[in-house]
């Protein structure tokens, strides 16, 4: 019996830090049942170097990471996405494309490591705190009993995850 693999798209304006972190976390914790992707409305064109360093130091697979425009996931032939989570306030306020499959959406805003000002050590500590917040939220998402919730209840649960500190 084939289990469904849920596809999750994390959005941020620049797609260089927060959404990249979330993509990596979900792909590590999703145990093959969830697949994370990330994109941005105005991608920076590269992964923020301090985030790349953090991910590598913490043994995340970074081989396929890249900063990409969200249009890739809105094309007619794009993968059907099940969930879309915005992780920055700018992306949440933008008019998003119509996603194939009409996924459920929620806003899970977190601070931006790419705008943090401080030493390299302080930057890595800040990235670690953002990572931990995203990891906590993603774990809460993975614990949802999807099969036992109706759509309104699931949407309410997804929205409540964005309030976890």
Question: Among the options 88, 91, 106, 110, which is catalytic?
Answer: 88
Helices 151-161 & 120-142, crossing angle to 10 degrees?
160
- How far apart (Å, rounded) are the C-alpha atoms in residues 64 and 94? 26
Question: Among the options 29, 50, 96, 104, which is catalytic?
Answer: 96
DSSP sequence for 98-122: PPTT--EEEE-----GGG--S-HHH
Find the helix or strand (DSSP H, E) in which 88 lies: none
Residue 149 in this model has a pLDDT that exceeds 70: yes
Residue 135 in this model has a pLDDT that exceeds 90: yes
Note the pLDDT tens digit of each residue in 32-49. Answer: 899 999 999 899 999 999
Higher pLDDT, 94 or 137: 137
Q: 35 has which bridge partners? A: 7
Residue 1 in this model has a pLDDT that exceeds 50: no
Question: Among the options 8, 9, 12, 161, which is catalytic?
Answer: 12
Q: What mean pLDDT do residues 50-70 have?
A: 94
Q: What mean pLDDT do residues 18-43 have?
A: 94
Confidence of residue 4 (pLDDT cuts 50, 70, 90): confident
24 an active-site residue? no
Note the pLDDT tens digit of each residue in 75-130. Answer: 777 788 999 999 987 655 666 677 777 899 999 999 999 999 999 999 999 999 99
Distance set, CA 105 to CA 23, 78, 114, 120, 127 (Å) = 16, 17, 24, 34, 24
Task: Give the model's pLDDT for residue 91.
Answer: 58
The tokens describing 106, both together, are 């929620």
Distance set, CA 14 to CA 22, 37, 147 (Å) = 14, 14, 34
Domains of the chain, each with CATH number or no CATH? 6-161 (3.40.50.2300)
**Strand duo 104-107 + 34-39: pairing:** unpaired
Which residue stretches of the chain are H helix?
Answer: 18-29, 49-57, 89-93, 120-142, 151-161
């Amino acid at each position: 019996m084939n289990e469904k693999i849920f596809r999750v798209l994390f959005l941020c304006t620049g797609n260089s830090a927060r959404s990249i972190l979330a993509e990596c976390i979900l792909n590590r914790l999703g145990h093959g049942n969830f697949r994370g992707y990330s994109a941005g409305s105005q991608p920076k064109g590269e992964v923020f170097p301090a985030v790349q360093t953090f991910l590598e130091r913490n043994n995340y697979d970074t081989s396929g990471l890249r900063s990409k425009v969200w249009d890739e996931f809105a094309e007619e032939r794009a993968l059907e996405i099940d969930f879309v989570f915005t992780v920055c306030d700018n992306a949440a306020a933008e008019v998003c494309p119509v996603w194939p499959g009409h996924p459920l959406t929620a806003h899970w805003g977190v601070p931006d490591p790419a705008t943090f000002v401080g030493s390299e050590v302080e930057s890595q500590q800040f990235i670690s705190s953002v990572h931990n917040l995203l990891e906590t939220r993603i774990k809460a998402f993975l614990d949802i009993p999807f099969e036992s919730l109706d759509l309104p209840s699931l949407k309410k649960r997804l929205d409540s995850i964005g309030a976890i500190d």
